[in-house]
Structure 1
């Protein structure tokens, strides 16, 4: 593995772990909303709603740092996929697809959900409710955001697994090449030693 490849891998793994840390911090809220079955679920929804409003109201610097970290991960993928080897195409290509899926879920569900929760307008945009029309209510909207966080976390774990698989495959390949070189060197040495004995 070249130094450029190692640095590019660091540019991928760093942001991925960073995002997993953010999602882990949100997991206590998400767990209670998605899987806990309390008799009084309202306090959990209220806490999640308050948390999301606080996140959305954070200074612009926070979202800029987040987007810079996303771009850093993409830069790592572009660096590794520049003049790719077969292993790069398989592992890094699949990792990039997962990473882009995570970004798509972030943009489509999480950001949109944060805006809806902050505005407090669930279902129909003007707040009215029509008969025979199903709208996504408050609890379902909050569940969608929590489920999106879980999906992004699973996708990012997949990126880490693929990067670890690539590292293992490269180490295995290097060990096999070194073993083949050793065997061929021993054969050359034995042939040259046999030639000297005949002389």
Structure 2
């Protein structure tokens, strides 16, 4: 359970740090028409981020490593059959590994390629075109990273729900009431020991009558002038002999 909490907390932290870049990314992705001034604002923002304190980068790397390690150990534990959800853990680890690869080989090299300090008249310099392409790539990478981190959060939520549902399903098994069942069986056996007269057996299926039943039917008075069946009369006459 604590591994799940570590993965969720670290993922939310990384998602929050990715959302902070929106102040520069919206100038590149959603502003229309895209002006050189908007591109210059994004370039200067990422130049400031790339030349920042190196300790912040190590914190970012440490949080990402903790998230990947927690997801990996949870996957190994679940693969061994020790209360784990392999589907959710494996998908989370795959997304986190993809994010790490994207950050290591796409985001960091592009971020460090932006020089600092920048020229005073950036839009008029020769490096403006490559730098504009770089901030576009960074904005796209940040969108991809945010989507994958959101997927990890949803996977962890689904894992928690699946674990809770399975634990609630393993509740105590209700044993049947043997006293009530024995009373019902005893009453059924006692009632079956005293059969009803033939005249009251309205729901008896069709079958061959016994001699006793034929005699009992033969002694019944004819109702409404309807004679008794010939088969019953023959059985009654045969049993009388």
Length-normalised TM-score, structure 1: 0.77
Report what 1:103 is aligned to.
100
Could you list the runs of 5+ residues in structure 1 that have no partner in the other structure? Answer: 1-5, 121-127, 129-135
Report what 1:70 is aligned to.
64
Could you tell me whether the CA contact under 8 Å between 1:52 and 1:118 is conserved in 2? no
Q: C-alpha distance in 1, partners of 2:13/2:28?
A: 23
Report what 1:163 is aligned to.
156
Q: CA deviation at 1:160?
A: 0.6
Could you tell me whether the CA contact under 8 Å between 1:33 and 1:143 is conserved in 2? yes
Q: CA deviation at 1:25?
A: 0.9
Q: C-alpha distance in 2, partners of 1:189/1:29?
A: 67
Report what 1:46 is aligned to.
40
Larger helix fraction of residues: 1
Q: CA deviation at 1:47?
A: 1.3
Specify which structure has the bigger relative contact order, considering alpha-carbon pairs within 8 angstroms and separated by 6 or more residues: 1
Could you tell me whether the CA contact under 8 Å between 1:11 and 1:75 is conserved in 2? no
Q: C-alpha distance in 2, partners of 1:139/1:61?
A: 27
The reply on whether 1:56 has 2:56 as its aligned counterpart is no
Question: Counterpart of 2:45 in 1: which secondary structure?
Answer: helix
Deviations 1:66-124 (A, max 9, x none): 1111111122113312321485211000110001111111112110111222278xxxx
Report what 2:206 is aligned to.
none
- Which of structures 1 and 2 has the bigger CA Rg? 2
The reply on whether 1:93 has 2:90 as its aligned counterpart is yes
The reply on whether 1:30 has 2:17 as its aligned counterpart is no
Q: C-alpha distance in 2, partners of 1:87/1:32?
A: 43
Q: May I ask how many residue pairs the two structures share in their alignment?
A: 173
Q: C-alpha distance in 2, partners of 1:23/1:55?
A: 12
Q: CA deviation at 1:176?
A: 2.2
Q: CA deviation at 1:167?
A: 1.0
Could you tell me whether the CA contact under 8 Å between 2:71 and 2:89 is conserved in 1? yes
Report what 1:191 is aligned to.
178
